[in-house]
Every structure is written in structure tokens, then in C-alpha cells.
């Protein structure tokens, strides 16, 4: 199944090599949770402040389904210099 992952601000450093945007399509096995997806993408969960699944607040134990949209926001998202 394919999950759409949007990485914001400093989390864009986790995008695949060759990707110029923070939008990533990830092909994952069925019955995967948000936490397992993050593990598979090698994203440090300590660097994530907010997770949304299809526009609603999510969590690491939430089961994902084909076509879900995940947004990952770091603590520094939206801060001003």
C-alpha cells in the first residue's frame, strides 16, 4: 500500500536522496502503524512535535491504510528568527 508523507521544516532532511520536496510516497506493507512507518523511514521520533493522519491528530499506534496522508511537524515549525 502507498502512504503519502509530508515532511515540514527540519524534517525534510529525512526525504529520500534525489527528492526536492517534502512530499514522499512510501510503499509499505499492510497493517503498519504510524510508529512502524517512522521506523521504516528512519525518522527520529524525538524530532517530531505533531503528527496528523488525513488532517486529524494522529499517534504512533495508529493503524494506516492505503492512500492515507501523513504530515510530520517538528518543534521548530513556524518559529521566527
Q: What are the domain boundaries of the chain?
A: 2-73
Can you give the pTM of this predicted structure? 0.88
Own/partner pairs, 33-42, CB within 8 angstroms, 24+ separation: 33/60, 33/61, 33/62, 33/63, 33/64, 34/58, 34/59, 34/60, 34/61, 34/62, 34/64, 34/70, 35/60, 35/61, 37/3, 37/5, 37/64, 37/70, 41/5, 41/14, 42/14
Q: Give the pLDDT band (50/70/90) at residue 81.
A: very low
- Tens-digit pLDDT profile for residues 13-44: 888 777 778 889 999 999 999 999 999 999 99
Q: Which CATH superfamily is domain 2-73 in?
A: Beta-grasp domain (3.10.20.30)
Amino acid at each position: 500500500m502507498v502512504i503519502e508523507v509530508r515532511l515540514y521544516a527540519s524534517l525534510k532532511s529525512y526525504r529520500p536522496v534525489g527528492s526536492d520536496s517534502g512530499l514522499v510516497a512510501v510503499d509499505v506493507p499492510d497493517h503498519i502503524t504510524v510508529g512502524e512507518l517512522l521506523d521504516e523511514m528512519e525518522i527520529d521520533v524525538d524530532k517530531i512535535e505533531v503528527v496528523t493522519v488525513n488532517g486529524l491528530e494522529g499517534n504512533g499506534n495508529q493503524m494506516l491504510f492505503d492512500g492515507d496522508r501523513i504530515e510530520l511537524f517538528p518543534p521548530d515549525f513556524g518559529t521566527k528568527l
